[in-house]
Amino acid sequence: MANSNYEYVKSFEVEDRLMPSTWIVVRIDGCHFHRFSEDHEFDKPNDERALNLMNSCAMAMLEEFPDIVFAYGVSDEYSFILKKTSQLYERRASKILSLTVSFFSSVYGFMWKEFFPNKKLKYPPYFDGRVVCYPSAKILQDYLAWRQVDCHINNQYNTCFWALVKSGKSKMEAHNLLKGTQTQEKNELLFQQFSINYNTLPAMFRKGSCVFKDKVEDIVKFNEDGDPVRRYRKKVIVDHCDIIGKSFWTEHPNILAE
């Protein structure tokens, strides 16, 4: 039977190319991670192992897809930025989105035991995703600032919430105590009741994680005089930078260079 009898079904596929010359942002988020984190006994409010696992998955993404120039992650979410000129899968949205979500989910399960050696996965973790195009560096930076502000707000709330719960308050009481409080009040509560100075908590908790390629110096050998011979190369790194202010972007002009 000739296959051409059936080929017309292809014509039902719709074109889904993303706008050219725009930064492509794919944001993935863990599905039902509230429950997943409880079922796997994550430390609260921040499980460092889980965050490091998310960061390793993001680093694997940058190694696998060189068009990703930057990634930002917090909690169970990660945003991946593809360069403006990317022609990955002809910029087809469904391809780019499905690859990101499936690769990330798969690496998460694959690397789980490295970060939780004594904890078996009880069921498969999975992620949802969306893709949005941003036409200018300014809007893209605002997008990332929006995610980092969200990280600040949630982390401060969660730090207070769990300090109260661990001190014996019920979840409902903790929730009611915090309702309507401002940043300053939360900082004072942490300091006065729990001697926690919010600003000295780990940067990974307060700022989230940035993944990008940076120049690193390697000592490749030592010459006859015993002096080191250095070489620079690009390496995927994780850092916990402030990306709300302008300074990160002026110090790393290559990341969003057109």
28 binds Mg ion (CB under 5 A): no
Of 32, 225, 194, which is closest to residue 125 (Cα–Cα)?
32
42 binds, among ligand ATP, Mg ion, none (CB under 5 to 8 A by kind): ligand ATP
53 lies in the site for ligand ATP, by CB under 6 A: no
Least distance in Å: CB of 77 to Mg ion?
4
Q: Which of 25, 28, 33, 210 binds Mg ion (CB under 5 A)?
A: 33
Helix ranges, 116-246 (H): 137-166, 171-178, 183-194, 203-207
Cβ atoms within 10 Å of 217's Cβ, excluding its own = 11
Which of ligand ATP, Mg ion, none does 51 bind, CB closer than 5 to 8 A by kind? Answer: ligand ATP
C-beta nearest to ligand ATP: residue: 34
User: Does the footprint of ligand ATP cover residue 47 (CB under 6 A)?
Assistant: yes
The gap from C-alpha 218 to its chain's centroid, in whole angstroms, comes to 27
d(CA 76, CA 138): 25
30 sits near ligand ATP (criterion: CB under 6 A): yes
Backbone angles phi and psi of 214, in degrees to 5: -135, 155
- The full length of the chain comes to 258
Residue with tokens 């661990």: 166
Q: Which two tokens stand for residue 235?
A: 């390496």
Three-class SS of residue 126? coil
Q: According to CB under 6 A, which one of 16, 19, 20, 31 is a site residue for ligand ATP?
A: 31
The entry of Mg ion, ligand ATP, none that residue 67 binds, CB within 5 to 8 Å by partner kind: none
Residues binding ligand ATP: number (CB under 6 A): 15
Q: How far is the CB of 39 from ligand ATP (least distance, A)?
A: 11
29 scored as a contact of ligand ATP (CB under 6 A): yes
Q: Is there binding between residue 29 and Mg ion (CB under 5 A)?
A: yes
Q: Across-strand partners of 73?
A: 78, 209
Which residue in the set 53, 76, 105, 151 belongs to the binding site for Mg ion (CB under 5 A)? 76
Does residue 40 interact with Mg ion by CB under 5 A?
no
| Cis before 202? omega within 30 | no
Q: Does 32 bind ligand ATP (CB under 6 A)?
A: yes
Pairing mode of beta strands 68-74, 127-134: unpaired
Q: Which does 221 bind (CB under 5 to 8 A by kind): ligand ATP, Mg ion, none?
A: none
Rounded Cα distance between 235 and 181, Å, is 42
Positions touching ligand ATP (CB under 6 A) are 29-34, 37, 42, 44, 46-47, 50-51, 75-76
